Amino acid sequence: MGTASAMPVRDRNQSAQVLHVHERLFLIDCGEGTQGQMVRYGVPMMKLDSIFLSHIHGDHVFGIFGLLSTLGMKGRTAPVNLYAPANFGPILKFFLSYYGEGIGFEIRFNPLKMSAPEVIYETKSLSVSAFPLRHGIETFGFLFREKEPQWNVRKEAIPQYGLTLTEIGAIKRGEDLVRPEGVIPLAELAYKPFVPRSYAYCSDTAVFPEEEEWLRGVHTLYHETTYLDELAEQAQLRNHSTTLQAASLALRAGVSRLIIGHYSSRSRDIAAYQAECRTIFPDTVAASDGDVFEIGK
């Protein structure tokens, strides 16, 4: 929904992403104009399950108030889970005190306050963890992980082995089939429907040592690259990352794919960001507004 940093530019909105997982929609950050982008790209905002805000800088939160108001005008009644740093609480309270009358749904505010990765949201198939970033103010990243699926019993195995309901239940839990005549290995009876996928969101932050371990083995990592390498001093002063810093982190953490964004408004050519990252981490993609990525492919 947006790949710009502090100021929007002609073809870049401010930070926002929508993640679609098992028919649930999750909004990550909500820069100014996010609801307009959702309309433009056909994202059904009424189907939002939860909202995750990394920090309270305006380019990551100024769109939340219009979005919540629109959901109210559209007649939403289902609660919205909202996860954000604790210092967003007074801001939300101020908004609701002036504009909350028309909001007919519950906003379940969950303040983030942790010093290491911690699960903040969970369903039968997904867990979401938050972890602190390094940005000068309280800022958090988010890691979405699919849980291990149950085993699927092969259809042909049911009549072949005369499986009972009890045996089918045990096989789905990952157990071998034990019978008096011997053991039938699980692999002959069932298969995993998919390999669990993971997605991490890190914006805004300077790269720091713990980040590498916390992101170890993630399939797809979104990491800010506000600056090209020539502006490394600016990145350090403002607690942001450069292209080469993000790419080096992705390499050390063993992620499968790196998506970059949050480009400085002074830079018009995002191809330069991608090219610098690829000198270290070839599987890097520089995101543009409206891009759609499939995690795991």
Active site residues: 59
Please, are residues 1 and 20 in contact by the beta-carbon 8 Å criterion? no
Nearby residues of 27 by Cβ (< 8 Å), 6 or more positions away: 16, 17, 18, 34, 48, 50, 51, 52, 67
Q: φ, ψ for residue 20 (rounded to 5)?
A: -105, 115
Q: Which residues make beta-bridge pairs with 2?
A: 16
**∠ CA 224-230-231, rounded to 5°:** 60
Please, are residues 14 and 33 in contact by the beta-carbon 8 Å criterion? yes
Q: Which residues make beta-bridge pairs with 217?
A: none
Residue 4, SS3 per DSSP: strand
